[in-house]
Amino acid sequence: MSDVQAIVNEITAEVQGQRNSEYPVSPLFLNRWSTRAFSNREVSDQDLYTVLDAAHWAPSASNGQPWRFIVARTEEQRSVFHQFIHELNLAWVSSAPVLIVVASDKLKENGEPNVAHAFDAGAAWASMAIQATMLGLFTHAMGGFDRNKSRQMLNIPDNFEIHAVIALGYKGDKSALPEAIRQREVPNSRRPLNELVYEGKME
């Protein structure tokens, strides 16, 4: 069985005991988790653009595809991103080889408000994360960054909402993380499903 097949078909050793689904969902969904320990190993063009291509096939309202991805993969590009990422996140994300800002257009092509733009961008991010997991890559979405500064430095127009910075890369050695972060470097669990699902109406 290939590594990709194993990720799709089997719970990985690091996830076992940490995550248990209540129903028979694919192990792929449990194996996707947000590491903070990234290796500085480069991500190939093929894998990077496979991940981005998966995101661009996500569903969107009226096929509007409001998402945009701004990618930093060279040292020079990453150094710009590092200037608007908050210090606590920079302590671990500085080793990630790829950083991606996810934004979405708040307006439809006819200039009317697109009330679904953020929902659609979330679908694209989820597709990105799942495809990355299938390739043996890890992702971590963060909201700890200066949006105004990122807008200015990346030349993002005002009609785009900036949602997150995504770190993408291979898993590294957690011993390189600061102690406080190292203790959190495990796949987290989820609330019971019955706390999140309502049939008919919310109580």
Q: To 10 degrees, the CA torsion angle through 133, 164, 166, 135?
A: 20
Q: What is the mean pLDDT of residues 138-147?
A: 98
* pLDDT in the model for residue 8: 86
User: Can you tell me the distance from the alpha carbon of 185 to that of 187, in angstroms, rounded to the nearest whole number?
Assistant: 7
- Nearest C-alpha neighbor of 61 from the set 115, 126, 130: 115
Q: Is the pLDDT score of 5 beyond 80?
A: no
Q: Is the pLDDT score of 125 beyond 80?
A: yes
Q: Is the pLDDT score of 180 beyond 90?
A: no
Q: What is the mean pLDDT of residues 26-45?
A: 96
Cβ-count burial 124-146 (b if 16+ within 10 Å, e if not): bbbbbbbbbbbbebbbbbbeebe
User: Can you tell me the distance from the alpha carbon of 143 to that of 166, in angstroms, rounded to the nearest whole number?
Assistant: 9
* pLDDT in the model for residue 164: 98
- Nearest C-alpha neighbor of 104 from the set 90, 93, 115: 115
Q: Is the pLDDT score of 49 beyond 70?
A: yes
The overall average pLDDT reported for the chain is: 95
* pLDDT in the model for residue 45: 97
- Nearest C-alpha neighbor of 166 from the set 103, 101, 105, 121: 101
Global pTM reads 0.95
